Amino acid sequence: MRYGYLFPGQGSQFPGMGRDLAEAYPEARQVFQEADDALGFSLSDLCWDGTGEQLALTENTQPAILTHSVATLRVLESLGAPRPVAAAGHSLGEYSAHVAAGTLEFTDAVRTVRSRGRFMQEAVPVGVGAMAAIIGFEPEQLEAVFREAAQGEVVSAANLNSPGQIVIAGHAGAVARAMDLARERGARKTVPLPVSAPFHCALMGPAAQRLGPVLNAVGMSAPSLPVFANVDAEPVQTGERARETLLEQVCSPVLWIDVITRMIAAGVEAFVEIGPGKVLSGLARRIDRNTPAAAVGDVAGVENALAAFRRESDG
């Protein structure tokens, strides 16, 4: 079986994240310790004992999810899980995918995403921006909604997640107006998202300007496996292109439907979501119901995945 690894982005954090992995596997505990040392404070305590409100702050969320994801990955690797043939990550998760591919060292990645989160948070004060999921609406329907809802503010598509699920971002007022208009015009559901900044839209321009020098200072190698980029759904094959796509994605929409379909076209036969939550495995199943997808983010998930890998190997 040819596996594609998927790594989650913001919204999948939760209090206590990663604790059971660290208690059960020394490889996971080592990753959390590396993060603590690299950041100069106890990210472990924040993940395991912090409040939901603390974890929802972007500068905390990003290193927390990256660390949980890499800890899970290291456990799977230590237990002999098959090497993937491709990887991708949703927004922040693209950094995790590049750690998996060897493009980035983990400690460089965790420091970078801590800065990325801070830059994103400071680009738009808390409460000024917002994001929301629009369910049961197609992208072409949203363009007219955006034009009417903007009223001089920013609102645009941020994540094209699955057929009929689009995340929008922008000024809080414009996002609220777009949600109302979408419901009036037939959207099945609109859901405000628990994030502290409006990602992947023009309001993130100041964050991208500040992130550029940080990314330029970090060493990046050619990925050891294709990493499909958020910005164009193309496989990244050089360190320089990795740097470019990680910067471009700050203000660009995440083309997740295209990422999944192109990974399948490139030969991926099953997806494994690695890290907190189950959002990406669910999206993958909605994008292509014929391609299996499972989530691994805790001890039970690791055990289930290893059992499935053994069955596949034996079969």
* Catalytic residue list: 91, 200
Strand partners for 134: 166, 190
- The residue behind tokens 């200072």 is 217
Helix (H, G, I), strand (E, B) or coil at 134: strand
Q: In terms of Cα–Cα distance, which of 75, 70, 60, 71 is closest to 10? A: 60
Q: Which residues of 76-103 are buried (b: 16+ CB within 10 A; e: fewer)?
A: beeeebeebbbbbbbbbbbbbbbbbbeb
CB 101 within 8 A of CB 229: no
